[in-house]
Amino acid sequence: MAPAFKRGDRLVVASHNAHKLVEIGEMVAPFGLSVVSAGELGIPEPEETGTTFAENAEIKALAVAKAANLPALADDSGLVVEALGGAPGIYSARWAGPGKDFAMAMKKVADRLDALGASRPEHRRAAFVAVLCLAFPDGATRNFAGEVTGHLVYPPRGENGFGYDPMFVPDGHEETFGELPPETKAGFSHRARAFARFAEEMLVR
């Protein structure tokens, strides 16, 4: 399949999350693409009614692509904890409540693990999962997935990153995503791995 984009093209990031806009903007910059967020265009966020990361990413990407009449890239991602049956999963942001209180959300995860007696690292296995959906105004879509495995710690450590980053220690590292330098995390994060698949198929250097 021929790449979908060339240098100078514009891509809408189907999100109102400033962190995601910056992260995706930095990823596409080497390819000469410019990004604008759905929020900057005044496009409201659709209700996420899917049951998987892929379904929710597609809902967001399609809504924004059609509203903006431009290609749109949406991300749906979250923390999947083995001992909790995959929770919080697609509800990762909702566990933080309307105020996006991830300190509360991390404590909720830790409390549930404690209640199960999951105290050792091997009992606290988890993964960050991301699915990027690229949607076009005509309704065509493509999905690209990425995952990073690791284990959880509590209390949280580090001020970098966002969300559950300060409690997640990726395999092969001793630091949490909240402690690792942003440029280190950017090299292998779940979103970076999904983006690498997107770039390989859809972008021209």
Q: Which residues are catalytic?
A: 76
8-state DSSP, 131: E
Rounded Cα gap, residues 77 and 90, in angstroms:
7
DSSP 3-state of 37: strand
Rounded Cα gap, residues 50 and 89, in angstroms:
12
Residue 21 sits at the vertex; the CA angle it makes with 19 and 26, to the nearest 5 degrees, is 100
Is the CB of residue 110 less than 8 Å from the CB of residue 154?
A: yes
Query: Which bin fits 101, alpha (ψ -120 to 50), beta or left (φ > 0)?
Result: beta
DSSP 154-194: SS---SSSSTTGGGEEETT-SS-TTTS-HHHHHHH-HHHHH
